[in-house]
A = this chain, B = another copy of it.
Amino acid sequence: MQQEEKAALLAQCQAQYAAFQAEQLKLDMSRGKPSPKQLDLTNGIIDVLSEEDYLAENGLDCRNYGCLDGLPEAKRFFAPMLGVDPEELIVCGNSSLNMMYWAMSLAMTNGVLGEKPWWKYDRVKVLCPVPGYDRHFAISEFLGMELVSVPMHENSPDMDLVEQLVREDDTIKAIWCVPMYSNPSGVVYSDEVVKRFAALQPKAKDFRIFWDNAYCVHHLTDHPPVQANLLEEAKKVGNENICYMFASTSKITHPGSGVAMLAASEENIHSLKKALSFSTIGYDKINQLRHLRFFGGKFENLTEHMKKHKDLIVPKFQIVLDTLEEGLGDLGIATWSKPQGGYFVSFNQKGYAKRIVQLCKEAGVVLTESGASFPYGIDPEDQNIRISPTYPTEEELQKAMHVFVCCAKLAALDA
C-alpha cells in the first residue's frame, strides 16, 4: 500500500471510529452466552413438572436425598451425548465446570485410582492447547499446576509434541481438550487425533485427559461431522482409564439451571463416585426429571431442539464472517476461523490483539480480554481475539462487528 493511500485509509478509519465513539455504544461480545431468544426455546422446562410429578421410573422419590450419580433414566438419556454406556456416566448439577474443578482438585488432594495425591509431587504440569479456554487454564493455575502451552494446528493440538511431552515428562499429569468446535478456534479433532489421544502412553501413570465436550451437539451445519469416541478408542487399546469426559446442557436448555455430566471408564467412575460421596448426597434430581420430561425422554428430541438453536445462531456467525470478509478480506492483515459449530470465531492479527481489544472497548464494544485464551493470559504473538457472536441481537452484532473491523484496520494503520 502506498503511503498516501495508507494515510487516506487511516483518516477514513479515524473518522469512522470517532463517529462510533459519539454513538456511546454498549455492546458485549465477551462471553459465549446464549441469547434470550435461545433461552426462550426452553422456557417450557420451567413449568414442565406438575406438583405430583416427582417419582423416578423405579419409584424413587426425587424430592428426597440420595441417588448420588443421577437418575437411572437420566443416565440412559444423556449417555448418547458423550457416546458412552449409562454406567460410564454420572449425571450432576448445573455446572460441568464445577465437575472439572472437582475432578482436578480431587486429583491434587487424593490422587487418581489409588495413586498418590498430585500435591505430593514437587511439580505438577498440565498441557494447554493454545489458544484454549481461559477457565480451564485458570482451574489448573489456581490449584498450583504449571501451565505448558501446546500449539493448536488445523485438526488438533500438535500431537507429536503432546506424545513426546507426556512420554518423557512424568510431572505432566493432565491435558485440557475441547475436541469438538474447540474454544475458541472451532477445531474438530480428526478421528486419527482422537485415536492418538486414546493411545497416549504417558510416563505419569496418573495422567488424565480432561476432555471437555462442551459443544458436542452444537452444530452450525446440516451435516455435522461425526467424531470417533475417545473412551471407545481408549478401550480398544486397553487404555480406558486415561480420560475424564465432560458435557452439559448449559447451551442446550438454560445455562443457569442445566444438567452437567461426567463420563469415564467404569473403574474411574467407581473411584470417582466413592470420592463424590464425601462431597454430596446427590444432585438435583427434580431438575433431571425436568430435562427428561421436556425432551420426552428421547435423545432425538434434544438433537432436534439443537436445530432451533442453530437457526438462531447461524445468521449471527454469518454477520461476523461477512463483515470480516468485507472489511478485511482484501487487506491480508488478519485471518479468522470459519467454524462449523460451537460458540466462537477465532480472529488473528499478529501484534495487534491487545490494541484492537482496547480500541473496541473505548468505542463501547467489550470483547474477551486479549490473551485470555493463553496460559497466564499471555499471548506470545499478541494476535488472538475470541469473538462471541451469540448473545447480542443481530443488529447489535452488526454494529459491533463494524466497530471491530474499524479497530482492526486502525490498529494496523496507526502502528
Query: What residues make up the interface of A, taking CB atoms closer than 8 Å to B?
Result: 31, 33-34, 36, 39, 42-44, 46-47, 49-54, 61-67, 93-95, 97-98, 101-102, 105, 108-110, 117, 119, 135, 138-139, 142-144, 250, 254-257, 275, 278-287
Nearest opposing residue in chain B for A140, CB measure:
B278
Given that A94-B93, A256-B286, A281-B97 are contacting pairs, would A110 and B142 also be in contact in the complex, using a CB cutoff of 8 Å? yes
Contacts of A279 in B (CB 8 A): 95, 97-98, 101-102, 105, 139
Distance from A54 Cβ to chain B, minimum over Cβ atoms (Å): 7
| Distance between Cα atoms of A4 and B70 in the complex (Å) | 56
User: Given A46-B49, A62-B256, A63-B255, are A278 and B139 also a contact pair (CB < 8 Å)?
Assistant: yes
Q: Which residue of chain B has its CB nearest to the CB of A60?
A: B256
Are B250's CB and A65's CB within 8 A?
A: yes
Q: Which residue of B lies closest to A256 (CB)?
A: B285
Chain B positions within 8 Å of A117 at CB level: 119, 144
Contact assessment for A280 and B64 in the assembled complex, using a CB-CB cutoff below 8 Å: no
6 residue pairs, one from A and one from B, having the closest CB atoms: A101-B279, A63-B254, A43-B51, A257-B286, A65-B255, A39-B63
Q: Are B94 and A284 in contact (CB under 8 A)?
A: yes
Q: Could you write out 24 A-B pairs with CB less than 8 Å apart?
A: A36-B64, A39-B64, A42-B63, A46-B50, A62-B257, A63-B255, A63-B256, A66-B256, A67-B256, A93-B94, A94-B284, A95-B280, A101-B278, A105-B279, A108-B109, A109-B119, A117-B119, A135-B278, A255-B281, A256-B282, A256-B285, A257-B284, A284-B284, A284-B287
Within the assembled complex, what's the spacing in Å between the Cα atoms of A285 and B250? 13
Query: In whole angstroms, how far apart are the Cα atoms of A78 and B342 in the complex?
Result: 38
Q: Which residues of B contact A64 (CB under 8 A)?
A: 33-34, 36, 39, 254-256
Nearest residue (CB) in B for A36 is B61
Whole-angstrom CA separation of A354 from B47 in the bound complex: 48
Known: A47-B49, A62-B257, A117-B119. 20 other contacts (CB 8 A): A33-B64, A33-B65, A36-B61, A39-B64, A47-B47, A62-B256, A63-B255, A65-B255, A93-B94, A93-B284, A94-B284, A97-B279, A98-B280, A101-B279, A105-B105, A109-B109, A117-B144, A256-B285, A257-B284, A257-B285
In this complex, the member of A36, A53, A279 whose beta carbon has the largest number of chain B beta carbons within 10 angstroms is A279
Q: Which residues of B contact A282 (CB under 8 A)?
A: 95, 256
Contact A47 B39 (CB under 8 A): no
Interface centre among A62, A64, A102 (most CB of B within 10 A): A64
Question: Is A65 touching B31 in the complex (CB atoms < 8 A)?
Answer: yes
| B54 in contact with A46 (CB, 8 Å) | yes
Residue of B nearest to A42 (CB): B63
Q: How far is the CA of A44 from the CA of B53 in the complex (A)?
A: 11
Closest Cβ–Cβ distance, residue A225 to chain B (whole Å): 27
CA distance A46 to B293 in the complex (A): 13
Q: Is the CB of A47 within 8 A of B51?
A: yes
CB distance from A105 to the nearest CB of B (A): 6
Q: Point out the residues of chain B lying under 8 angstroms from A250, CB to CB.
A: 65
In the complex formed, the residue of B with least CB distance to A49 is B46
In the complex, A62→B119 CA distance in Å? 37
- Cβ of A92 to closest chain B Cβ, rounded Å: 10
Set of chain B residues within 8 Å of A286, measured between Cβ atoms = 46, 254, 256-257
Rounded to whole Å, the gap between the CB of A137 and the closest CB of chain B is 10
Residues of B within 8 A of A51 (CB): 43-44, 46-47
- A53–B94 Cα distance when bound, in Å, is 19
- Chain B residues within 8 Å of A44, by CB: 51
In the assembled complex, which residues on chain B have CB atoms less than 8 Å from the CB atom of A93? 93-94, 284
